[in-house]
Structure 1
Amino acid sequence: MLPDRRRLLAAIATTGLTAPLILRGAAAQGTAQGLAKTRLQLGWIPNVQYAGEWVALEKGLFRKHGVELEWAPGGPNAPAAPVVLAAGRADLGYTSWFPFLDAVTRGNDFVMVGVVFPKSPLGIVSLAKKPIRRPQDLVGARILAQGAPEKTAIDATLAIAGLPVQWTQVPAGFSPEPLLSGQGDGYTAFSTNQVITLENMGLVRDKDFFFASFDELGFRTYGSVLAAPRAYVERNRPAVVGYLRGLIGGMQENERDPSLAPRLAVQRYGVDFGLDLKQQTRQNALQIPLTHYDEPGRPLLSLDRALMAGVMYDGARAAGRTNLPDVDRIADFSLVAEAHQGL
């Protein structure tokens, strides 16, 4: 089971997430000779979502490729990665598609260097008595949604489908329990998170409840976008490529042995956050398929120029984003390719 919000916030308080940046890494004594120190800002708490990083750290894969990784946790009280990047307190950071676009349009010279989840796990959970499985099911519905990104996703889904943007947002937290008590018709959730919570409650997917990803509803986005300031990439390209090589290796190892990363998250990297091994193991099993494109010939972490310039920009326009830059301005499509060539 996922830690409840009070337990999570207590863990955050004891680990200092409200501080500007807390860096953790494999070596406590600083950067080893000959290694490039790279500071990573996570987008969430250090759970199994970052399986690639934890396995790579455990097996020395970042160091193998010339990188000494330091990382800072995210969470509900932590600053967002674009904020940390803009302040110069991290070199790389995990964010989402729209927060990245919004940061760029506000004048930040950021560049996407890769994406962990080319298929976003964000979607809507609904119950059997009133399933939400198509965009038209959203019209007039009461949706428990956590914040602006979720609202944007629903608005864009309706706009793309040519439907009226008519629905009611009901404030929600990280637990699906308000859905079960009838406070809404649907609940914005992750297939790798709250879906597991419902399963652990004894509910059966596609019988007692349904999950429809926004990808399936017609609103295609990326999840876990890896971004960096352009100036950092230009000055430290070997370090960025080395980081990507280590991460690719960690992700590949995670597929070969999906039992290791959950243990590392629970027992080491996320030990302060009350993570549950059974839940983390299930999350890892669900997230591994999301790291691969449905379309063939696209390697791990790669960015798809046509996808971004096409349906993803269409979705951004439907969500009210205008004056979008050329995708080659906001993404470096060569970094992941170079990383794979060196493996």
Structure 2
Amino acid sequence: MLNKKFATVTSVSLLFVALNTIANTSASLAHAQNNKVRVAQTWVPNIEYGGLWVAIENGYFDEEGLNVDYIPGGPNATRPEIVVASGNAEIGYTNWIPFLDAVARGNDFVMLAATLPVSPLGIISLPGKPILAAQDMAGSRILAQRATEREVVNATFTLNDLEAEWESIPTGFSPEPLLAGDGDGYTAFETNQVITLEMMGLERDEDFHFVLFDELGFTSSNGVLFTTRDYLEEERESVIGFMRALTRGWIENEQDPDAAVELVVNNFGADLGLDPEQQRRQNETQIQLMRPYDDPDHRLLTLDKAVIAGPMYDAARASGREELPNVDQIVDTTIMQEVHESLR
């Protein structure tokens, strides 16, 4: 009789434990499903987001209890600032000046991190008329892809106390018009068109020259990650978890760059027909740019308020943006500080 009672109690206890385990598991799954983080990108899913692909593939976001989805960008896609402001994404990618413009339009955005502390935007020129300093741009015909690039050229003149005497020639994403002699310079990205020329067999510093606008005095950041103040205040731990997983992805990418290339070519960007060699070289270039000025101690994705309040605000003012908010209102450096502390 005693054994029967013991068996009954034991069975009930085991049933309780099993039900409790199921309930806890269901709650955890529900939390992960409800804790969805949508990320709006500026460009198509290529190696530019290598750290994100690695973090997704390796389950780093899952470990943070986050269900991450991404919204690809591109030339015809809705800008991430609009996607986030409309509530269709929690976190967005953008660049420095567009971020400032979005804030100026009344969006209560907070800058969390920067993938590339130094923008890869610069000018390609040919040996016949090299553009290596700001004064070399004077009197030049510069092929500029978009209005934003034209604005950067004008601001660079201003920052160097020079008259903006140059001719802007509209162009596309290919540097071939420069090679055809349609201009003296071409606004380009070190992570894109410079690689295009090298893959055509041209040698940098011999067959063509490239200089970053940062070297000419216009300081900016690319791959800025931002969110709304409301989301940051309500879901701070989720934001920290997202950035921690993303940082782990970028650290892994540094250690094994080919893994991210394989992921993007064969998985996340499989429909784009990406060139594996181009993606590999782009990844190598962005890895170098993620630690600016060859500083091995620079912590990935971190922000420097002194740089933002100094040369980055100078660049913004030179481009006509006079009414700038206090840096503390739009930048939160504590997120990445906590991330790196937790990764020690």
Q: TM-score, normalised by structure 1?
A: 0.89
Partner of 2:283: helix, strand, or coil? Answer: helix
Equivalent-residue separation in structure 1 for 2:297 and 2:108 (angstroms): 30
1:32–1:68 contact (8 Å) kept in structure 2: no
Q: Which letter maps to 1:61?
A: Y
1:296 CA displacement: 6.9
In structure 2, the partner of 1:34 is 31
Tell which deviates more after alignment, 32-41 or 152-161.
Answer: 32-41
Partner of 1:196: 195
Distance across 2 between alignment mates of 1:52 and 1:245: 11
Q: Tell me the secondary structure at the aligned position of residue 33 of structure 1.
A: helix
Task: Give a deviation string over 1:216-270, Cα, whole Å, max 9, x none.
Answer: 1111111111111111111111111011001110000001101011111111001
The verdict on how the C-alpha distance between 1:90 and 1:230 changes in structure 2, with shifts beyond 3 A counting, is same
The question of 1:44 aligning with 2:33 is answered no
1-structure distance, mates of 2:274, 2:233: 38
- For 1:27, the equivalent position in structure 2 comes to none
Where does the alignment leave 5 or more consecutive residues of structure 2 unmatched? 1-27
Cα distance in 2 for partners of 1:32, 1:254 equals: 28
Shift of residue 73, structure 1, vs aligned partner: 0.6
Select the structure of larger CA radius of gyration: 2
Contact 1:126 1:186 in 2 (8 A): yes
What is the letter of the counterpart of residue 223 of structure 1? N
Deviation for aligned residue 1:66: 2.1
In structure 2, what is the Cα distance between the partners aligned to 1:150 and 1:99?
Answer: 12
2:105 alignment counterpart: 106
| SS of equivalent to 2:114 | strand
Cα drift, residue 33 of structure 1: 3.1
Deviation for aligned residue 1:298:
3.7
CA distance in 1, matches of 2:148, 2:286: 20
Q: Distance in 2 between matches of 1:105 and 1:52?
A: 30
User: What corresponds to 1:339 in structure 2?
Assistant: 339
Q: In structure 2, how many angstroms separate the alpha carbons of the residues matched to 1:183 and 1:170?
A: 8
- State the SS of the aligned residue for 2:299: coil
* SS of residue in 2 equivalent to 1:208: coil
Question: Which amino acid counterpart does residue 338 of structure 1 have in structure 2?
Answer: E
Query: Partner of 1:268 in structure 2?
Result: 267
The answer for the alignment partner of 1:240 in structure 2 is 239
* Aligned equivalents of 1:305, 1:112: Cα separation in 2: 11
> Counterparts of 2:340 and 2:67 in 1: how far apart (Å)?
19
Q: Given residue 56 of structure 1, which amino acid in structure 2 is its aligned partner?
A: A
Counterpart-to-counterpart distance in 2, 1:140 and 1:232:
48
Alignment of 1:158-307 (within 5 A): 158-294=157-293, 297-307=297-307
Q: Note if contact 1:145-1:151 (Cα within 8 Å) is conserved in structure 2.
A: yes
In the alignment, which residue of structure 1 is the partner of 2:146? 147
SS in 2 for 1:133: coil
Q: Distance in 2 between matches of 1:87 and 1:172?
A: 32
How far apart in 2 are the matches of 1:261 and 1:175? 25
Partner of 1:69: 68
User: 1:219, 1:272 → 2: CA distance?
Assistant: 36
Local SS of the residue matching 2:202: coil
Structure with the higher fraction of residues in helix conformation: 2
Identity of aligned residues (%): 52
CA displacement at 1:87 relative to structure 2: 1.4
2:52 aligns with 53
CA distance in 2, matches of 1:116, 1:273: 23
Task: Assess, with a 3 A threshold, how the Cα gap between structure 1 residues 296 and 281 changes in structure 2: closer, same or farther.
Answer: closer
Structure 1 residue 313 and structure 2 residue 308: aligned? no
Paired residue secondary structure (2:323): coil
- 1:34 is matched by which residue type in structure 2? H
- Whichever residue aligns with residue 337 of structure 1, its letter is Q
| Secondary structure of 1:289's aligned partner | helix
- CA distance in structure 1 between the aligned counterparts of 2:274 and 2:187, rounded to whole angstroms: 22
TM-align CA RMSD: 1.3
- Counterpart of 2:324? 324
Contact 1:53 1:250 (8 Å CA) reproduced: yes
What is the 5 A alignment of 1:115-130?
115-130=114-129
User: Are the equivalent residues in 2 in contact too, given 1:142–1:169 (CA < 8 A)?
Assistant: yes
Q: Which amino acid aligns with 1:98?
A: I
What letter corresponds to residue 303 of structure 1 in structure 2?
L
How many equivalent pairs are there? 313
2:138 and 2:185 mapped to 1: Cα distance? 12
Local SS of the residue matching 2:54:
helix
How far 1:297 moved relative to its partner? Answer: 4.9
**Structure 1 position 336, deviation (Å):** 0.6
